[in-house]
Amino acid sequence: MASVDRYFASSRSALRRQWSSPKIATRLIIGNTIFWCVTYVQVLIFYNISTGTCWYPSGAYGVFFSIYIAVESGILPILLLFIFGLLTANNVHNTIQRIEPVGVAHNGQHILGSKPSKKDAQLHKMLANQILVFIILNMPNPCFLVYRAFTVNTSKTLLRSTTEDFAGNMTYALMDLEFSLTFINFIISSKMFRKEFLQLIRTKILRQHPTLVANIKRDNNKNCQIK
């Protein structure tokens, strides 16, 4: 949802930018909540409780649900992040190219280019790191569920069953960890984000006035003039 919102917010089309608004976000949150509640009604119907453990049954539904989780939690989010991330980066690049044209001589002709943008580079870096962290931490659980579905009828020793239970719990923990690393990822990836965060701490928590940076120009008489 956040990657889709970034795409609409960075679009040069006024009609598309209208989709990035608190009103639309509220409607999508409500609709998204209702959709996933209805989708997971199947858990109330098909899941079994055995020896204090709630788990999906073996057989056709077990295979279906494992593949569904692999697509819903692994493949689909990665595709959405990748597609809308590239579209957002393209929007930012086109906007900068339009605002900051630079003349470049090539074979005697004057063509338009664009200045390298630190903001554009940081956006690419933040997006790439976010996708990488998501893949590393989210893919193990769907892969484990698919493995468990296809080996559910296999005779297993106590050690193997215990090892698989531990691995399953760890993959769920990795999925939860991914949500808590977004802030750390942005802090590490973007100098601009760090500056904005420190500025927020100074102004909102420490109640300091924003620091104004004066451009100082020295003339030939070595006098200082503040612009």
1-10, 41-50, 68-77: least confidently modelled range: 1-10
pLDDT in tens, 180-225: 888 888 888 888 888 888 888 888 888 777 655 444 444 444 444 4
Q: How many helices (H) and strands (E) does the chain have?
A: 11, 6
pTM given for the model: 0.60
155: Cα within 13 Å, side-chain hemisphere: 0
The CA-atom distances, in angstroms, between 150 and each of 44, 146, 157 are 22, 6, 16
Domains and CATH numbers, the chain: 2-226 (1.20.1070)
- Any idea what DSSP says for residue 1? -
**Overall average pLDDT of the 7-17 stretch:** 79
CB 42 within 8 A of CB 125: no
